[in-house]
Structure 1
Amino acid sequence: MPASRWGAAIVSALVLWAVAQAFAGTVPEPDDYRMENYRAAVPATLKGARVVLTEEVIELWKNKQALFVDVLPYDPKPKNLPAGTIWKEKIRQDIPDSIWLANVGYGVLNKEMETYFRDGLKSRLGEDRDRLVLFYCQKDCWMSWNAAKRAVEWGYRAVLWYPLGTDGWVAAGQPTQRNVPLGF
Structure 2
Amino acid sequence: MIRAVMIWAAVLFWTVVGLTAAAQAQNSFGQAPQPQQQNQQKQGYQAPQQNNSRQGYPQQGQQGFGQPNAMEPQQQGGRGPLDQLAAMERRDFGVPPTARLHAGPMHGPTPASIPGGQLITTKGLVELLRGRQMPVLVLDVLGGQDMIPGAQFAVPAHQAGSFNDQVQQQFGQFLQGATGGNKEYPLVLYCLSPQCWMSYNAALRAINLGYTNVLWYRGGIESWRQSGQPTQPVPQPGYQ
> Which TM-score band applies after superposition, normalised by the shorter structure?
0.7 to 0.9
Q: Which residue of 2 is the match for residue 123 of structure 1?
A: 177
Distance, in Å, in 1 between the alignment partners of 2:148 and 2:140 is 8
Q: Which residue of 2 is the match for residue 62 of structure 1?
A: 130
Deviation, 1:169, is 0.5
Which residue identity does 2:179 align to in structure 1? L
Q: 1:42 aligns with which of 82, 85, 110?
A: 110
Alignment check: 8 A CA contact 1:100 1:180 kept: no
Give the unaligned 5+ runs of structure 2.
1-72
**How many residues are paired up?**
159
3-state SS of paired residue (1:8) = coil
Matches within 5 A, 1:128-143: 128-139=182-193, 140-143=195-198
Which residue identity does 1:169 align to in structure 2? W
1:8 and 2:76 aligned: yes
Alignment check: 8 A CA contact 1:48 1:157 kept: yes
Q: Which has the larger radius of gyration?
A: 2
**Which shifted more, 103-112 or 145-154?**
103-112
1:106 and 2:159 aligned: yes
Q: Which residue of 2 is the match for residue 33 of structure 1?
A: 101
* Root-mean-square deviation (Å): 3.0
Distance, in Å, in 1 between the alignment partners of 2:116 and 2:77 is 24
When residues 114 and 180 of structure 1 are mapped into structure 2, their CA distance, relative to the original with a 3 A threshold, is: farther
Alignment check: 8 A CA contact 2:89 2:121 kept: no
When residues 9 and 152 of structure 1 are mapped into structure 2, their CA distance, relative to the original with a 3 A threshold, is: farther
Q: Which residue of 2 is the match for residue 72 of structure 1?
A: 142
Q: Which residue of 2 is the match for residue 168 of structure 1?
A: 223
Alignment check: 8 A CA contact 1:42 1:141 kept: yes
Deviation, 1:10, is 7.5
Alignment check: 8 A CA contact 2:189 2:203 kept: yes
**Which shifted more, 143-152 or 22-31?**
22-31
Cα deviations by residue, 1:60-88 (Å, 9 ceiling, x for unpaired): 22233421011125xxxxxxxxxxxxxxx
Give the unaligned 5+ runs of structure 1.
74-90
Q: Percent identity?
A: 28
Distance, in Å, in 1 between the alignment partners of 2:209 and 2:174 is 13
TM-score normalised by the chain length of structure 1: 0.74
Distance, in Å, in 2 between the alignment partners of 1:178 and 1:97 is 11
Distance, in Å, in 2 between the alignment partners of 1:177 and 1:21 is 22
Distance, in Å, in 2 between the alignment partners of 1:130 and 1:40 is 30
Deviation, 1:180, is 5.7
1:51 and 2:119 aligned: yes
TM-score normalised by the chain length of structure 2: 0.58
